[in-house]
Structure 1
Amino acid sequence: MLRCHVIWAVFCRNVAAYFSGVLGYLFIVVFVLAMASYAYTPEFFANNVATLDQLNEVFPWLLLFIVPAITMSAWADEKKLGTEELLFTLPVSDTEILLGKYLSVLAVYSIALAFSLGQLFVLGLYADPDWGLLFATYVGYWLAGAALVSAGMFASSLTSSSTVAFVLGVILCAIPVFMREIVQMISVVDGVAVWLLSSENGVVNWFGGVVQHVFGFIASLEFGQLSLSEQFREFGLGMVPLSGLIYFGSLTAFMLYMNHVVITKRHWSASQKTGMGLQYVLRTACLIVILTSANVMTRVSADAMGLRADVTADNAYTLTDTTRDLLAAVDEKQPVTIQAFLSDAVPQEFIPVRKRLEGLLQQYSRLGGKNVEVRIVSVGDAYSRAAEEAGTFGIAKRQIQSERDGRFELTEFYLGAVISSPNDEVVISAIDVDTPLEYELTRSVRTVSGKNRRTVGVLATDASVIGGFDRSSFRSLPPWQIVTELRKQYDVAGISPDLPYDEQPELELFRLKAKHVTGLDEKSLNEEIRKAYAGKNIELAAGAAVKVVKAGSKWRVSDDANSHSSTILLQGEDLIGYGSFDVLLAVLPSSLSQPQMARFVDAIEAGTPTMIFDDPMPVTVGLQHAPMVPKRPPGGPMGQQGPPPTPRADDGKATSLMKALGIMWDSSVSKPWSGELVVVFDYFNPHPKIEQLVPPEFVFISPESGVPSAISEKSKITKGFTQMLALFPGRFMQVGNESDLEFEPLLRSGANSGVLKWSEMMEEGNPFAGPQPKRDPVRLRDEDAHTLAAHIHSKKKDGLNVVYVSDIDIVSDYCLYSLSDILRRGFDYELELDNVDFVLNSVDLLAGDEAMIDLRNREAKMRPLTEIQEQVNGFRKQRQQEEERRQKQWKEEIETIQSQLDDAQKNLGTDDSSLAIQRLFTAAENATQRLKQKKEEIEQEKQQALDRLKGEERRQVDSLQTRIRWWAILLPPIPPIMLGVLMLGLRAYREERTIQPSRSVRR
């Protein structure tokens, strides 16, 4: 039986011994300094997120220093000073001494870790971090250190030299730290085995086969999952997993057992040493097998049952009630099958994604019971049967170039899922690093388990959102990615603007013959319809004639004996009329002709739920589609000139549409709109790392922009959103007092925003390319928060219901996907936007299906460095004010010279004498030359001044970040330094007091 007072006595003795010298305090100070230095790197400020991610990456390396430094004297000094024999002759057990020493060393490590909490104090001053996430992170720090401390003690028990104990401690601690890299080295050995197999020598060939099988088996055990960094990862995300607790506990128990074997070896007699040694080798091997098996079993069961505590403030990793209720409600008559195709080898950044996906699927299987079948398919190489099966479902093989150990390598892998039921199927073709897994799976299960999908109609405009065929270039246009996203939840159909809103044509497409029509279930009938549609004419077998009719987006299959109704995805060229859908999506309706616009407005006024994206400057689809640019004639085939263009309705101003919605592009006019369109800019940019890459017309919409209501928290559409991005958006405002319409702003620009007129923004370029945006136009901020999106709906039931957005780029492929991909690949920067969720939430709300909105809005709240961002915004505001002052000055100078030139030109007609005319012409020519020269001088001076102002702002920001970094680095070591000075001073004072005056050195 263990005696606590004995353990306490040993504990106090060793703690006091550690803090009796300067070296112990020095190690702690260096450790705390290193932690703060790695936590507050330039990347920390560039990412602008209040986490310890940068420290988490290197913390296992720091343990390789601090743990051997703390533990190297635990046993080595006892042996060196000869106190080990004295200690073991006391009436105490070996286990009590071992536990007392371990707890003392663990206490020293805990004290060192506690001193590092000063960096969190600095973090709390300049941000609002997720304290739950930081708590879990520090729990992981402590557990990892506690496990390695036992390894360091074991190393110290093997020698009487502290230096040797330090080196052995580093080596032993490096095994769990670098377990993943060690496993990766096995692949190199496996490659050597393959080379040996190619040898013609039989013995060498046989040896190569043995090596390949042995190391292949070891690699298949996935020991890389048992690395310390892999086990710590979930703690760094804000979770406390059971598997992590078992792992660190197992490592601690094993190393303490090895330590116990070493210190009890003295009891072995000379004749027993060989036998006892073999016995303990066998025991150790059995213990390794037991602990490894326990860890593997715990990991598998924890992933399947979700055995982990989510301590984040937003419960970001806990399954929602929406998911649980949905899985429990799956009908046994319509079971759901989830098939996941996962490659064995994925890039390093995708390993957590695959692991979380596997864990979620196990939970879905457990919660869904017999009505939800989960099948996880392991995909080997690209030519395996599993890869072929994945391809038949449309799951794409991905190629990702990543850097590993300083080398770039291209990895091909599969990571996707198919969710199906007897009546429907949803394919998640590619899962990315930032894919919200729970939302994607839950939405897909809900879609396929439902009886009927709702339909989203996409209006055919010059934007070609749903795709189709471009007759001028003679090529097919793919649908926008947002259409692909909508098809995971809705049926999507193209809507012709040429058909009246109340007309729903019924067109017979083809007839086919089936053998046993009455015996076909709905799923197989759908398949027959799809086959027949692809071939247009098909004879399946002798039997009854089956007529296939398209009524809107619905397919009706009928014969004499039976009648079925089903749906099928329509191609881009198949357009139906108004009235055959639940929600209408209209992108760039200003490109419609007058009759088309009239039908569109009729549909809206009739109560059709509609989401509208229009734009004064649609940069992603081409400025030729801008309302201020004359419409070009459509190209004919083979490069021939097409017919004259159909004029845009209201000269592209969409006046009738705006009037129906009670809004105007520019609130400065109350009469029919005749002014210039304006483009919104905003100097707010929460991403310092990419600030120089994007102009102010890339408007980042965020509550951190100085306008708390920039993203509305009142609307279900945008509640919980943190950031969106619009490119060269327009603005609009409510006009008049429409008593029957409610105007609810959803998105607004920030406090440092303004507008540019079309003429101020554009300049004439290549006559074939049309006008182009100026590189650096004169931007003047105003005091308005410009409305970029709003929900406009009637107070009456079934009345007008529209979400209007003054930017189509917000939903373009570039803004939704391409930009993030470019930044990720080219600049190693993750840009997380809520643009996709904004569209999906709007469509759900308009369709009256709000079940998925809360789940879609559920995401970890971004925790920016708020105080730092405010100070940076202050520097930026000073620079902008100076820029505006100089811009006005330069503008006035140019206007003065231009006025002189205009006066000279006017005087040309006031005097008819040839001498006067010649003199005036000369004056005008000189004025023109002066104007040109002055413009060049001003432009050059302007660019130099702007560069100086930006450089000054950059220096101020760097100075601020450096000041904060030094505060974070120097503040945590102050307490241990003060403690060391105090304790060593008291020690010296006590020694001075106890020395007899006759024995002291006289000074």
Structure 2
Amino acid sequence: MTTLESEPSSKKPAPSGARSRQGGIRPFRAHVIWAVFKRNLQSYFSNPAGYVFITLFVFISSAVAFWQDEFFTNNLANLDQLNRYMPYLLLFFIPAITMNSWADERRQGTDELLLTLPAHDLDVVLGKYFAALGIFTVALLFSSSHLLVLSYLGSPDLGVMASTYLGYWLMGALLIAVGMVASLLSSNVTVAFILGALFCAIPIFLGGIGSPTGGPLRRRLEGWSVPAQFHDFGVGVVTLSGLFYFVALAAAMLYLNMVLLGRRHWAGGEASKGLWFHAAVRFAAVILALFSLNMMIEHLGARADASSEKLHTLSAESIELIDQIKDDRPVMIQAFYSPEVPREYVETKTDLLDLLQSYAARSRGKIQLNLTPTETYSTAAREAEKRFGIEPRRVVTTDQAKQSSTEIFLGVAFTSGLEEVVIPFFDRGLPVEYELTRSIQVVSRSKRKKVGILSTDAKMMGGFNQQSFGQTPEWSIVTELKKQYEVTSVSPDTPIADDFDALLVAQPSSLTQKQIDNLTAYVKNGGPALLFLDPFPVDNPQISPEVPRAPAGGPFGGSPPPEQKGNLRPLLDLVGIDWPTTEIVWNSYNPHPQLADLPPEVVFIGRGSGEKDAFNPDQSATSGLQEIVTLFPGMLRSKGGGAGPEFTPLLRTSDAGGLISWSETAQQGFMGISGINPRRRHLPSDVGYTLAARVKGAAAGEPKPASDPAKKDEKKPEEKPATINVIAIADLDIISEQFFELRRRKIENLDFDNVTFVLNCVDVLAGDESFVTLRKKRPKHRTLVAIEEQTKDFLEALQNQTKSAEDAAKNKLDDAQKAFDKQVDQVKTRTDLDERTKEIMLANLQEVAQRRLDVEKQKIEDEKLNQIREGKADSEQKTRAIENRVRYLAAAIPPLPPLILGIIVFITRLRRENLGASPKRLAA
């Protein structure tokens, strides 16, 4: 074992003014700290056992990060799984590093030699601390191979990865100081390890320790726990309060090391009793001061955003919109929030309050902010409910495997003059910055733009349903539009006014001919319109274009039959769109393994599908979007011919799909459509389809009437061609309630851009694109591209196998039908039978052959389904094989470097021990 390098005798003694109370030795001498650091670091890395611990750490962290099914289910290139378990992994790894710090010195008797040398206690403590921190840093560097695995599988956010590893390092820095305290209390390394794990468990499980107390104290203790402080680092935010928490608490633990190490100077005897109490009070005062200072720093809200998308930084669009607020129209913001909220809403509340304060500071007095902590049944709660309709929301939270519910306030009211916008509650998935910026901009304007909702059988504005005899609420898309626009209901029975900035039309195929003519006239006059054209609305299949209008009282009602649906073709011809009402698009691309059971008619649109222009990059409504889901959508085509408005695709599928007819999809029943046909066939067409398009420009010229010779010389005013301004979306379910619910509740990683896309379309038509860029601000959907590419081949093979099975089944059915037709022809051509006998024989043949044909059809259908099932099972098996290969490689390769180094050190050490030894003694 190497010994501490003593100070050379040639050095001059320290000046008397620099001497300390401890034997006249001043602290913070770099060469002493370096000597202790080098001694402990060399001792650890010259022992193969040290490499075993590092190898074990890298292996376990790799298994935690990549072995779980959740990693492949989420299909995201991040370290979310490792972030969740890293504090508990360090709970055992850190004590393995620190257990030798003091306990081994005492066991070998070298502590007396170390502590009697001319070195200050603080220098020795810091030297040992930096050595342990260096060991942990080396282990983290070896574990950084996880980034290589993620880079191979996808495209991780390197900024988030950097802040995540900074958080890992800070956690280790704190826990090492805690573990050294445990090592000081025992001379047995095993006991030191156990005590280290117990001591490290206190800051890690601090939230659980406070759980029995309940209420604000529990939440405060939970916020001071290591996992809670690390959370911001894991999402790409480096907070000043988090840095101070880890550094300050580590310093406090090092101070405790100093106290315990210095006890040798005064421990023992009656006088030591008071000194123990004095030391405990001093340490408690240090801890209390540090936590108080940490609370003050938390209120500052200083943070650095390391994410690539700068999700936690005020965007340039928000700053520009705030700067545009007029001095004579200041905005008053009143926020009502619960002082204590469940764990799931802490991040939302923090972001909300931090952003509000940032807005107020940026506005230079044009935004007046009033933050009101609001308890249930308090005066503030009554004011929030009476003035703004802000009520407490009951939310469900899970704590230690128990579910509980509580009511919390998290609402904001914006007022400026007579304008008022209220957000009653900020759900977890609500984009906070977008909601705040939009609300501020809307109330600061003198006038809102006007959006109309055309009344159709879809009933977007809600109202009385004559078929179900019940009241239906307005759609969430209407509620969302009311936050920004003046929204009114528009009747299609009369000519539509042209003063709307945008008109939303859901399922225009359900209108009567007169209503369609009124809509056509509006579009022809240049009225901006957003058309939802859906061949099979999943939420309400009865309004499909192929389903006739039902009587108001249902099939048993006594009301007269309603006026039937009109012909939509003139409107589609005017805008230059071809929309086959009987064709439904399906596609096999699905980037969410947890949703693998969804039918292929649930079409996912994204860049990972292989379609380069899945989202048109040149259109502001779609550029920057990441993923959209459509349910049983239709397809749009340009009428072509060169004449008419310009047809610009907005959303496109990949070529890994095809079309299925409406009649084969819908399962008819006595009461109408009863469901979806489970035996529908999916034949790939190897063609991509347009699901949404913008149509803008001059309409195709209408044919001129034949000229009258008598009026040849008459001059007629020249008619200008109609200017078309339409966006068509071949799916109404794109704005169904489930997508708004997913957006509000922030379920797993299902973050779709459906709502964003539709709102962008309205803004583009209305000529107000100030919120389009801000609305797209969200984390990039970084999928495991490498796995998707490999499984894509399996999906294509499955489609080809399915097509082969369908073709084979069709050929067999055709052969069976031909055999039956041949038998019929043979009977008909017989001349030895009269007509009556032929009819009897044909009837008998028909009955027998039909039974055989039905049996044969069922047999062929079963064979086809079996082939398809086998193909799916084979594809699933190959996908699992790929995932398992990634698991094994990710868990096996990263630990190899430290393991190889450990073997080299072991062999080198063995050779040195045997060097110079007698061969006879070695042989013996």
Whether the TM-score (by the shorter chain) exceeds 0.5 is yes
Within 5 Å, give how 1:840-919 maps onto structure 2: 840-901=759-820, 913-919=835-841
Q: Aligned letter for 1:641?
A: G
Q: Aligned letter for 1:810?
A: I
For the 8 Å contact 1:459–1:585, the answer to whether it is kept is: yes
Mean Cα deviation higher: 408-417 or 881-890: 408-417
Aligned mate of 2:684, from 766, 775, 781: 781
Q: Distance in 2 between matches of 1:862 and 1:726?
A: 18
- Higher relative CO (Cα under 8 Å, sequence separation at least 6) belongs to 2
Q: Distance in 2 between matches of 1:818 and 1:998?
A: 79
Q: Aligned letter for 2:549?
A: K
The match for 1:531 is: none
Aligned mate of 2:737, from 813, 820, 830: 813
The match for 2:918 is: 997
Within 5 Å, give how 1:207-218 maps onto structure 2: 218=217
Q: Distance in 2 between matches of 1:316 and 1:741?
A: 39
Q: Distance in 1 between matches of 2:643 and 2:672?
A: 45
- What SS is found at the alignment partner of 1:780? coil
Shift of 1:469: 2.6
Aligned mate of 1:69, from 80, 96, 114: 96
Aligned mate of 2:550, from 629, 632, 639: 632
Tell me, yes or no, if structure 1 residue 30 matches structure 2 residue 56. Answer: yes
Within 5 Å, give how 1:214-363 maps onto structure 2: 218-219=217-218, 222-268=220-266, 270=269, 272-302=271-301, 307-363=302-358
Q: 1:430 to 1:94 in 2, by over 3 A?
A: same
Shift of 1:862: 0.8
Q: Distance in 1 between matches of 2:206 and 2:172?
A: 16
Aligned mate of 1:801, from 701, 722, 725: 725
Q: Distance in 2 between matches of 1:849 and 1:418?
A: 23
For the 8 Å contact 2:460–2:478, the answer to whether it is kept is: yes
- What SS is found at the alignment partner of 1:708? coil
For the 8 Å contact 1:907–1:920, the answer to whether it is kept is: no
Shift of 1:407: 2.7
Q: 1:929 to 1:422 in 2, by over 3 A?
A: same
Aligned mate of 2:574, from 648, 652, 660: 660
Within 5 Å, give how 1:364-403 maps onto structure 2: 364-381=359-376, 383-392=377-386, 393-403=388-398
Q: 1:386 to 1:921 in 2, by over 3 A?
A: farther
Shift of 1:406: 2.5
Q: Aligned letter for 1:284?
A: F
Shift of 1:444: 0.7
- What SS is found at the alignment partner of 1:633? coil
- What SS is found at the alignment partner of 2:249? helix
Q: Distance in 2 between matches of 1:905 and 1:998?
A: 102
For the 8 Å contact 2:666–2:673, the answer to whether it is kept is: no
Aligned length in residues: 871
Shift of 1:23: 2.5
Q: 1:905 to 1:494 in 2, by over 3 A?
A: farther
Shift of 1:795: 6.3
For the 8 Å contact 2:429–2:744, the answer to whether it is kept is: no
For the 8 Å contact 2:827–2:841, the answer to whether it is kept is: no
Q: Aligned letter for 2:232?
A: E
Per-residue CA distance 1:936-989 (angstroms, 9 max, x = gap): 222322333222222211111111111101111111110111111111211222
Shift of 1:80: 1.4
Per-residue CA distance 1:239-292 (angstroms, 9 max, x = gap): 111111101011110000000111112222756523433332232122112101
Within 5 Å, give how 1:599-678 maps onto structure 2: 599-621=518-540, 623-635=541-553, 640-650=557-567, 654-666=568-580, 677-678=582-583
The match for 2:606 is: 702
Per-residue CA distance 1:860-881 (angstroms, 9 max, x = gap): 2110000101111111111121
Aligned mate of 1:839, from 749, 758, 764: 758
Shift of 1:118: 1.8
Per-residue CA distance 1:787-819 (angstroms, 9 max, x = gap): 1101111169993111111111112223x2356
Q: 1:25 to 1:846 in 2, by over 3 A?
A: same
Q: Distance in 1 between matches of 2:763 and 2:789?
A: 36
- What SS is found at the alignment partner of 1:793? strand
Q: Distance in 2 between matches of 1:699 and 1:875?
A: 18
The match for 1:205 is: none
Shift of 1:369: 3.9
Q: Distance in 1 between matches of 2:467 and 2:483?
A: 31
Within 5 Å, give how 1:200-599 maps onto structure 2: 218-219=217-218, 222-268=220-266, 270=269, 272-302=271-301, 307-381=302-376, 383-392=377-386, 393-501=388-496, 578-599=497-518
Q: Distance in 1 between matches of 2:224 and 2:725?
A: 55
Q: Distance in 1 between matches of 2:825 and 2:329?
A: 83
Shift of 1:347: 3.7
Q: Distance in 2 between matches of 1:400 and 1:990?
A: 66
Q: Distance in 2 between matches of 1:898 and 1:500?
A: 56
Q: Aligned letter for 2:565?
A: R
For the 8 Å contact 1:897–1:927, the answer to whether it is kept is: no
Aligned mate of 1:679, from 562, 575, 584: 584
- What SS is found at the alignment partner of 1:74? helix
Structure 1 spans left out of the alignment, 5+ residues:
188-215, 502-577, 667-675
For the 8 Å contact 2:646–2:696, the answer to whether it is kept is: yes
- What SS is found at the alignment partner of 2:679? coil
For the 8 Å contact 1:399–1:412, the answer to whether it is kept is: yes
For the 8 Å contact 1:364–1:372, the answer to whether it is kept is: yes
Q: Distance in 2 between matches of 1:912 and 1:803?
A: 67
For the 8 Å contact 2:462–2:471, the answer to whether it is kept is: yes
The match for 1:553 is: none
Q: Distance in 2 between matches of 1:907 and 1:792?
A: 59
For the 8 Å contact 1:32–1:972, the answer to whether it is kept is: yes
Q: 1:301 to 1:691 in 2, by over 3 A?
A: same
% identical aligned pairs? 38
Q: Aligned letter for 1:295?
A: N
Per-residue CA distance 1:625-660 (angstroms, 9 max, x = gap): 111122223338x9742222212221xxx1111101
The match for 1:691 is: 596
Per-residue CA distance 1:795-845 (angstroms, 9 max, x = gap): 69993111111111112223x2356789x7xxx644211011111111111
For the 8 Å contact 2:48–2:905, the answer to whether it is kept is: no
- What SS is found at the alignment partner of 1:339? strand
Per-residue CA distance 1:657-701 (angstroms, 9 max, x = gap): 1101112125xxxxxxxxx62100011111111111x21111111
Q: Aligned letter for 1:457?
A: G
The match for 1:7 is: 33
Per-residue CA distance 1:578-630 (angstroms, 9 max, x = gap): 22321111111111111211121111121111111111112212x22111122
Q: Distance in 1 between matches of 2:585 and 2:840?
A: 47
- What SS is found at the alignment partner of 1:918? helix
Shift of 1:399: 3.6
**Considering only aligned residues, what root-mean-square deviation do their CA atoms show, in Å?**
2.4
Aligned mate of 1:726, from 630, 647, 652: 630
The match for 2:864 is: 942
Per-residue CA distance 1:108-152 (angstroms, 9 max, x = gap): 111111111122212211111111111111110001101110110
Q: Distance in 1 between matches of 2:352 and 2:142?
A: 38
The match for 2:656 is: 752
Q: Distance in 1 between matches of 2:532 and 2:156?
A: 36
Q: Distance in 1 between matches of 2:790 and 2:919?
A: 64
Q: Distance in 1 between matches of 2:371 and 2:920?
A: 81
Q: Distance in 2 between matches of 1:681 and 1:394?
A: 44
The match for 1:100 is: 127
Q: Distance in 2 between matches of 1:819 and 1:298?
A: 35
For the 8 Å contact 2:588–2:600, the answer to whether it is kept is: yes
